[in-house]
Amino acid sequence: MKHLMLLILLITSYTSVAAIYQWTDEQGITHFSDDESKPESAQEIEVKLTPPSIESLTQSRTPEASSANTTLAEMPSLPIGISIDSPVDQQTLRSNNGKIMVSATLSASLQYGSNIRLLIDGIIHSEQIDSQFNVTNVPVGSHKLQLQIVNNLGKVIASSELITVYLHRFKAN
């Protein structure tokens, strides 16, 4: 789709080229313009434009050339995913101190500056780079958990599925 849009842009810009005028002013400076309000001494010049070939637009760099000059900012980022390993959806947890341990799996390594965010009932609980969260003092009842990967600008770049857990206290008989 990108290549098609680029091709359309090139074709339309190629066909809409205006006349180019050249003149030299009193100080001997040569000027070029496509403006109709040119001085009387301006002469129209012929410009031959050749649109680029499809092959030149779709060529990629060779691995040797790209690895030698690639900086960290230019490196392509792989799509990253996150999922909650523990607890599982619809799991009942029993804890007198309201402790929930949430662990995650990432499909790729976190990029520099990215964090993992834990949401409990849609509210941000904490952010960290570790994939295991130890949460205490969670009230009894049902809770919705979700993990998000947030980049250094605060933008969410990946989210886990939303799961529901049920927290109960131990009962003594």
Q: How far apart are CA 116 and CA 84, in angstroms?
A: 12
Q: Examine the domain organization and report whether 103 and 147 are in the same domain.
A: yes
CA–CA dist 78, 14 (Å, integer): 36
Residues 10 and 88 in one domain: no
Residue 99 belongs to some domain of the structure: yes
58-115, pLDDT tens digit by residue?
A: 655 555 544 555 555 555 566 899 999 999 999 999 998 899 999 999 999 998 899 9
Provide the residue range defining the domain that includes 46.
Answer: 2-59
Give the separation between CA 25 and CA 31, rounded to whole angstroms.
8
What is the model's pLDDT at position 30? 83
- Mean pLDDT across the chain: 81
DSSP designation for 36 = S
Q: What's the pLDDT score for residue 145? A: 96
Q: Return the CA Rg of the chain.
A: 30
Given a cut of 80, is residue 9 above it in pLDDT?
no
| Same domain (yes/no): 97, 136 | yes
Do 120 and 52 fall into the same domain?
A: no
Q: Are residues 90 and 143 in the same domain?
A: yes
Cβ-in-10-Å burial (0-12, 13-18, 19+) of 28 comes to: exposed
pLDDT at 40: 77
Q: How many domains does the chain have?
A: 2
Residues 55, 86: one domain? no
pLDDT tens digits, residue range 27-55? 888 877 777 777 777 888 777 767 666 66
Is 91 a member of any domain? yes
> What does the pLDDT read at residue 157?
93
Check whether residue 94 and residue 161 sit in a common domain: yes
pTM above 0.95, yes or no: no
The verdict on 123 and 162 lying in the same domain is yes
Residue range 125-133: mean pLDDT, rounded: 94
**Of 110, 113, 99, 112, nearest to 147 (Cα)?**
110
Q: Which two tokens stand for residue 111?
A: 């990029």
Q: Could you tell me if 98 and 39 lie in one domain?
A: no
Residue 33: predicted pLDDT = 79
Question: Do 156 and 111 belong to one domain?
Answer: yes
Split at pLDDT 50, 70, 90, the class of 166 is very high
Task: Categorize the per-residue pLDDT at 144 as very low, low, confident or very high, splitting at 50, 70 and 90.
Answer: very high
Give 20-26's long-range contacts (Cβ < 8 A, gap of 24+). Answer: 20/44, 20/45, 20/47, 21/45
Same-domain check for residues 45 and 90: no
**How far is residue 32's CA from residue 99's CA, in Å, rounded to a whole number?**
73
In a domain, 65, yes or no: no
CATH number at residue 89: 2.60.40.10
Assigned domain for 162 exists:
yes
Q: With bands split at pLDDT 50, 70 and 90, how would you rate the model's confidence at 17? A: low
Rounded to 10 degrees, what is the CA torsion of 70, 1, 158, 93? Answer: -140
